[in-house]
Chains A and B, each alone.
Chain A
Amino acid sequence: MDHSSLAGRIFRGVALALVLVFFMFPIVWILLMSFQTNEQILRIPPHILFEPTLANYEALISGQLRTAAGNLEISFMRNLMNSFVLSSAAVLLALLLGVPAAYAFARFKFRLGESIAFTLLSFRFAPPLLVLLPLSLYYQELGLNDTYFGIVWVYQLIALPLILWIVRGYFEDISPDIEHAYRLAGHTWREAFTRIAVPLAGPGIAAAGLLSFIFCWNNFVFALILASADKQPVTVGALAFVTASGIQYGQIAAAIVLSVTPTLLLALYAQRYLVEGLSLGAVKG
């Protein structure tokens, strides 16, 4: 970069700062809110300086919500755990199903192949609310309502198309000759898949897995309808803070901080793979 003039550098600094403030402000504000009581939050005008309190976090972790109307049981930590279990299981299942499927779509031309791939992608087009009503009826009939497996299954609507289409691009970018060379050396196609294709598509698989984990984590509406309180993830669990005696802004903020932290840490840790992975797929080698 050769923008060495002083004005140019200042301008870039200011522009970067503006962008940063724009994107970071809600997160910073929520972080601040999570250390305030409801009264402090609702003060007008708002104060930047305040006496921080850990009461919100205490309430979340102990599961006791004290309100004007009395004590409420909340299962936030359980919701958090549910989010982990559901998202991880959904992504694992989607990887197990999606990576081999992506390989098949990338390598083999078969009848209706493109149509099937597109149909799978089209699951992402339909608004979830559209499918929820029939889905909940079927689930009730199948006994899948309010089961972990039922939710993991419905999360495949989110994770599977994403993984399928991202990973397929990576497999297509690997020269088939590389796999042919491995097979000619006396290895079966299964070995060529596990030792050549999957490692080479690794960054893409990691990126797709991470993205679908985040999408699953952030999902709200499927679990709201299809699961009861003890199976619900944190996104739905946060509704518990809208109580009869008012909205518990402090606890909501603390809950958001706690629920965002895992995905944020994961994204920061995997950022390298994410950027490398997504851009590698974009440029044909």
Chain B
Amino acid sequence: MARLELDSVGKAFGAVHCADGLSLVVEPGEIVAVFGPSGGGKTVLLRMIAGMFEPDDGDILVGGRSIVGAPPEQRGVGMAFQNFALFPHMSAQENIASGLRAKVGSGEVASRVTSISRLLKIEHVLGHMPRELSNGQKQRTALARALIGNPEVLLLDDPLRNVDAKLRYEMRLELPSLLRRSSAAVLYVTQDYREAMAIADRIAVLINGRLVQVGRPEEIYARPASVAVARLFGDPSINLAEVTPQAVQGALCAEIAGTRVLLESDERTPVDHGVCWLGVRPDDLVIARDFGEGAIPARIVAITPMHERAVLLLRFADGTEWLAALPPDAMVGSAEDSVFVRFAPDAALLFDRATGLRIGPQQRRQAA
């Protein structure tokens, strides 16, 4: 099988840069999730690989061979579209069979369609027309059509966007093993960080046409490259406070709402960095009734019970509002209660206020 290489690919529509020096390598059998906010250039990237747009500059290689300028049918690329893009005038069977690029006998076609549809659990609807299929079945049919030709590169454009929540969970569990079976280099576009973390070997974070960070899911979660990345991963999203870290008695400290908190530091952390963003994930906050060192006094403004945890809206003395996510059994107090908020020094992330880039220790604990 072949690896997919993007070599500083650039594409602009007018003044909008949809892709700006994108470089990425996807090994055969690897699943890389392209994740980012909408309008970040994810779909344009896929379409450049598929041959619907050509990049303005840079090169796209499959197995070391440039595919730029080649017509879509000669690129060895399979794709599943967000809107399924099934052929409405063909049955599911014909839809899937159309994906077989090699000219094989009708018996061979039938047996391969049967085996792939059994794998995707749609063999009972093969005779149906697309309009008679549920969204889940449509999505599986589209996936079967993309997989049956054994493409060297498989592009999945948010394939779970239009299916219901239950199926989405199921497919998140099934997809990785299914995709690995094909040993294609897989690019998986999604807008859901959980989906990206569940399915991908690596995640490429694409914001405004630039790859901001590429890494393993837990790496990106624990060590986001910038405030923007940190904000995208996590629900509720990360709490931020503007701080000016200072060295006090050899330790790095910051002041949040009048309370001095201890920060993790190593020799690479500049002590006099100036104004920074300090970020703490809602899951890393500990709420207590009693005062302790580094505990920030806060008032609970509201509590939103979510299925497996409760989300607390906290307000500090200076008006800063943070969110905390707690397991239900760790609940203390109710709305309007005064509490104290703490977090471990290594739970705090520091970002430069001007550039948004993360500063501070490179080695971090793994995400929970």
Contacts and interface: CB of A to CB of B under 8 A. Distances in A.
Interface string B74-89: 0101110101011111
Contact of B98 (A177, A182, A188, A200): A182
Contacts of B79: 180-181, 184
Nearest to A192: B73
A185 B100 contact: yes
Contact of A183 (B73, B81, B89, B146): B73
Given A180-B50, A181-B81, A181-B145, A187 B88 contact: no
B71 A185 contact: no
B119 interface: no
A189 interface: yes
Contacts of B71: 183, 188-189
Interface in A135-188: 175-178, 180-188
Of A182, A188, A200, the most chain B CB neighbours within 10 A belong to A182
Interface string B271-297: 000000000000000000000000000
A186 B103 CA distance: 10
Contacts, number: 60
Contact of A187 (B73, B77, B78, B102): B73
B100 to A, nearest CB: 7
A175 B83 contact: yes
A273 to B, nearest CB: 15
A188 B100 CA distance: 14
Given A180-B52, A181-B79, A181-B145, A186 B73 contact: yes
The secondary-structure label for the interface of chain B is loop
Interface residues of B, number: 26
B89 A185 contact: no
Nearest to B96: A185
A184 B50 contact: yes
A177 B83 contact: yes
A181 B143 CA distance: 11
Interface string A174-212: 011110111111111100000010011000000000000
B21 interface: no
Contact of B73 (A175, A176, A188, A196): A188
B73 A184 contact: yes
B101 interface: yes
A175 B130 CA distance: 15
Q: Which of B75, B79, B85, B149 has most A Cβ within 10 Å?
A: B85
Nearest to B148: A185
Nearest to A186: B101
Nearest to A199: B89
Contacts of A177: 81, 83, 85
B99 A185 contact: yes
Interface of B: 50-52, 71-73, 75, 77-79, 81, 83, 85-89, 98-102, 142, 145-146, 149
Interface of A: 175-178, 180-189, 196, 199-200
28 contacts: A175-B85, A177-B81, A177-B85, A178-B87, A178-B88, A180-B50, A180-B79, A181-B79, A181-B145, A182-B98, A183-B51, A184-B50, A184-B51, A184-B73, A184-B75, A184-B77, A184-B79, A185-B73, A185-B98, A185-B100, A185-B149, A186-B100, A186-B149, A187-B73, A188-B71, A189-B71, A196-B87, A199-B89
Given A181-B81, A183-B51, A186-B101, 12 more contacts: A177-B81, A180-B50, A181-B87, A181-B145, A182-B87, A184-B51, A184-B75, A185-B73, A186-B100, A186-B102, A188-B71, A200-B88
